[in-house]
A and B are shown apart, each in its own frame.
Chain A
Amino acid sequence: MTCLPPKTDRKLGLVIDLDTCVGCHACVTACKGWNDQGYGAPLSDQDPYGADPSGTFLNRVHSYAVQPDDNAAQIVNFPRSCLHCEDAPCVTVCPTGASYKRAEDGIVLVNEDACIGCGLCAWACPYGAREMDQAAGVMKKCTLCVDRIYNEELPEEDRQPACVRTCPTGARHFGDLGDPDSAVSRLVAEREGFALMPELGTKPVNRYLPPRKKDRPEEASLLAPLLDIRATGLAGWLDRVLGRF
């Protein structure tokens, strides 16, 4: 049913630390790997070894250069995936009911057996979170690894999304953002986590943690002790003699 639940019991989502992310794309690979073999149609590739390779991914890592007014530019690696919005426009536009938001945990999912592949949900999403699988003709999106997080066949430490489990720098966190005392909610509060494009009224659940403030170069150059060189001995005598000419 494409009516959004008025309220979800929990708000499961991701918190992504832009300070820690090194842009290694391990989350992209882990996501593709897991979602090739479990929930729904596998994420297909077209012409993967040819001249024009292309494929379906549920997670993409961008890299941006950010230029502050008064400091050097910063490179920020920026993973982008479904934000499991509270007011998800991708759900309400769906004509078949394939697209839905779960009342129990807030995860936005696609029932692929009911998806006609019209693509309207991908148009409605401002974040580019949905990609139509070119082989299956159905819409694919992040499931928050719904087939891992509740899977009691897996060891407990593996019951989190593949991207979170694999991240080598711990830049990705998974939890209930509806519970103010959860680890992810506290992280968001401490680090002033933010939502993407809040002006569009989608109320994303996922949060991003901003890069920490950089030191100014003049305040903390690592080379400072080495820059003030006073030569002694023979080098000092040469320095003085040559300095006269």
Chain B
Amino acid sequence: MHPAPSVIVFTVLSGMGFGFLALMGLFGASGWTGFALWALGYGLAVAGLVASTFHLGNPQRALLAFTQWRTSWLSREGWASVVTLGLLAPQALSDWLGFGWGRGFGIAGAVGCVATVFCTSMIYAQLRSVPRWHHWTTPAVFLAFAVAGGLVLAGNAVFGLPALCVLGVLMAVQWQGGAGRFAAAGSSMETATGLGRIGRVSVFEQPHTGGNYLMREMIFSVGRKHAARVRMIAMVAAVMLPALALAFVPGPAAGVLAAGAHLLGALAHRWLFFAEAEHVVGLYYGRRAG
């Protein structure tokens, strides 16, 4: 799949933002420190959501995306994000101005944050046409990134270190199983064309000599040869460096260093998540599994 920058930025920033907002909802912070931290969470989440609209051909109709929540994970994601940001707003005001409204809105908002990130991940995990994504590891890794990203940004070593460990393990599991998932799904050039009943199928001639939308969007394969290197970068930057920073760097510098590295690692992970995923339509163009 084509690793469009808008979608990478969307999933990374909104994931980290909602992870951080969930923590703010649960624990909060008072006064102007609270204001700055709430603004950071809102800023990340909203920046991600805005980035996603750059992916659209007709963004002026984006409000229609709230209508089909019954079947569409993308529509549910829209609702979840707006409802969550709305639920957290009174909590943020209460924290900042000291209204003392308890943590009800915050706790509900934290649940909303988890729901939002889950909906985001299901946009990809629901697609049977992309076998690498159609697996429980997709929501698991998205949620782990949100939790770890939020804790890293908060500079919290006590919960941050275990969260990073879980994230690292889940990333490894995702990559390990990902390679064989296309073949396991059972689609081949033979089933795609139905000609397997006669014999082995290969491309004799392509249907067009130039490129087209399908090839640009879904048959992207430039990045696959660098997969091992990008995995290393993602694992080191998203998990290992933040863990070291949280464990050994004192004071608020830990959070800044850890969050910077984690953000880079998350971007690398998400780039590969798209670049590495193979769509079954590639079979019609002669792209076999593996």
- Do the two chains bind? yes
Binding site for B on A (CB under 8 A): 1-3, 18, 52-57, 60-69, 71, 73-76, 78, 80, 89, 91-98, 114-120, 122-128, 131-134, 136-138, 194-201, 208, 210-211
Q: How far is the CA of A124 from the CA of B280 in the complex (A)?
A: 10
For A128, the chain B residues whose CB sits under 8 A away are 214, 218, 281, 284
Tell yes or no: B207 within 8 A of A by CB: yes
Q: How far is the CA of A4 from the CA of B192 in the complex (A)?
A: 24
Q: Which residue of B is nearest A198, CB measured? A: B191
29 contacts between A and B (CB under 8 A): A3-B70, A18-B195, A60-B208, A63-B206, A65-B202, A66-B199, A66-B201, A69-B199, A71-B199, A76-B195, A80-B207, A80-B284, A93-B72, A93-B74, A94-B71, A95-B72, A96-B64, A96-B68, A114-B61, A115-B61, A118-B74, A119-B57, A124-B129, A125-B281, A127-B281, A138-B57, A197-B192, A199-B191, A210-B197
Residue from B70, B205, B218, B280 within 8 A of A63 (CB atoms): B205
For B280, the chain A residues whose CB sits under 8 A away are 126, 197, 200
Q: Are A126 and B187 in contact (CB under 8 A)?
A: yes
For B58, the chain A residues whose CB sits under 8 A away are 115-117, 137-138
Question: Please, what's the 1-or-0 string for B252-290, where 1 marks a CB less than 8 Å from any CB in chain A?
Answer: 000000000000000000000000000111001000000
Q: Are B281 and A95 in contact (CB under 8 A)?
A: no
Q: Are B206 and A62 in contact (CB under 8 A)?
A: yes
Q: Which residue of B is nearest A70, CB measured? A: B199
Given contacts A96-B64, A126-B128, contact A53 B217 (CB under 8 A): no
Q: Are A132 and B57 in contact (CB under 8 A)?
A: yes
Q: Are B56 and A211 in contact (CB under 8 A)?
A: no
Residue from B59, B127, B195 within 8 A of A64 (CB atoms): B195
For A124, the chain B residues whose CB sits under 8 A away are 126-127, 129
Q: Which residue of B is nearest A61, CB measured? A: B207
For B73, the chain A residues whose CB sits under 8 A away are 93
Closest chain A CB from B235 CB (angstroms):
27
Q: Are B203 and A66 in contact (CB under 8 A)?
A: no
Q: How far is the CA of A167 from the CA of B94 in the complex (A)?
A: 70
Tell yes or no: B13 within 8 A of A by CB: no
Tell yes or no: B194 within 8 A of A by CB: yes
Given contacts A89-B129, A116-B57, contact A63 B203 (CB under 8 A): yes
For A118, the chain B residues whose CB sits under 8 A away are 55-57, 65, 74
Given contacts A123-B127, A123-B279, A131-B213, contact A64 B201 (CB under 8 A): yes
Tell yes or no: B200 within 8 A of A by CB: yes
For B204, the chain A residues whose CB sits under 8 A away are 63-65, 75
Given contacts A1-B68, A116-B58, contact A199 B129 (CB under 8 A): no
Tell yes or no: B185 within 8 A of A by CB: yes
Number of B interface residues at 8 Å Cβ cutoff, please give it.
Answer: 58
Tell yes or no: B33 within 8 A of A by CB: no
Closest chain B CB from A97 CB (angstroms):
5
Q: Are A199 and B68 in contact (CB under 8 A)?
A: no
Binding site for A on B (CB under 8 A): 1, 55-59, 61-62, 64-68, 70-75, 78, 123, 126-130, 185-187, 189, 191-195, 197-208, 210-214, 217-218, 279-281, 284
Q: How far is the CA of A53 from the CA of B203 in the complex (A)?
A: 22
Q: How far is the CA of A95 from the CA of B58 in the complex (A)?
A: 13
Q: Are B71 and A117 in contact (CB under 8 A)?
A: no
Q: Find the residue from A64, A128, A199, A201 having the highest chain B CB count within 10 A.
A: A128
Q: How far is the CA of A137 from the CA of B62 in the complex (A)?
A: 13
Q: Are A210 and B198 in contact (CB under 8 A)?
A: yes
Q: How far is the CA of A179 from the CA of B161 in the complex (A)?
A: 62
Q: Which residue of B is nearest A196, CB measured? A: B194
Q: Are B57 and A136 in contact (CB under 8 A)?
A: yes
For A61, the chain B residues whose CB sits under 8 A away are 207
Closest chain B CB from A95 CB (angstroms):
4
Q: How far is the CA of A54 from the CA of B210 in the complex (A)?
A: 6
